[in-house]
Amino acid sequence: MASASPRGTPTPMPSVPFLDLRAQFHSVRPEVLAAVLAVLESQEFSLGIEVETFEREMARFVGCKFAVGCASGADALLLSLMALEIGARDEYIRIAEASLARQSLCNRWAYARRAETQAPAVKAESKRPN
């Protein structure tokens, strides 16, 4: 898209390069393929030595004692809400452009925590004469 110059002639917009995932993958291809092959051969798709190694290396990289590998961003968000004990009557701020899955997760977690903390319904006794 072009914008108009003061004289009315279009001024070309500068080109912004997109992230080239193919080039990025090419730079680490042998390492990635070796790791994928190791997991396929071990058949340890969850937990196992690869996950333990990842968690240990990630914890060291970010400078903390532990790290937890998650299957998705939604899982990571849920674990964060649980770890921080965020739930009923708590306020949290999230970006407006959050995916529907993340919005739903936050709403379900808050609802579940709200339901968990509400007092049980008191059964009313009948006042009808016998």
Handedness of CA 113, 114, 117, 123 (dihedral sign): negative
Residues 76 and 61 both lie in one domain: no
Answer yes or no: is 7 within a domain.
no
pLDDT at 124: 42
Q: Are 88 and 110 in contact (CB under 8 A)?
A: yes
Answer yes or no: is 6 within a domain.
no
Rounded to 5°, angle at Cα 24 from 20 and 26: 115
Q: For the whole model, what pTM was predicted?
A: 0.52
Annotate 3-50 with three-state secondary structure: EECCCCCEECCCCCCCCCHHHHHHHHHHHHHHHHHHHHHHCCCCCHHH
Please write the tens of the pLDDT for every residue from 22-56. Answer: 999 999 999 999 999 998 999 988 888 888 999 99
pLDDT at 97: 63
Residues 110 and 76 both lie in one domain: yes
Structural domain total, the chain: 2
pLDDT at 68: 92
Low-confidence ranges of the chain (pLDDT < 50): 115-128, 130
Answer yes or no: is 10 within a domain.
no
Residues 48 and 79 both lie in one domain: no
Annotate 37-78 with three-state secondary structure: HHHHHHCCCCCHHHHHHHHHHHHHHHCCCCCCCCCCHHHHHH
pLDDT at 9: 74
Residues 84 and 102 both lie in one domain: yes
pLDDT at 116: 47
Supply the range of the domain harboring residue 103.
71-116
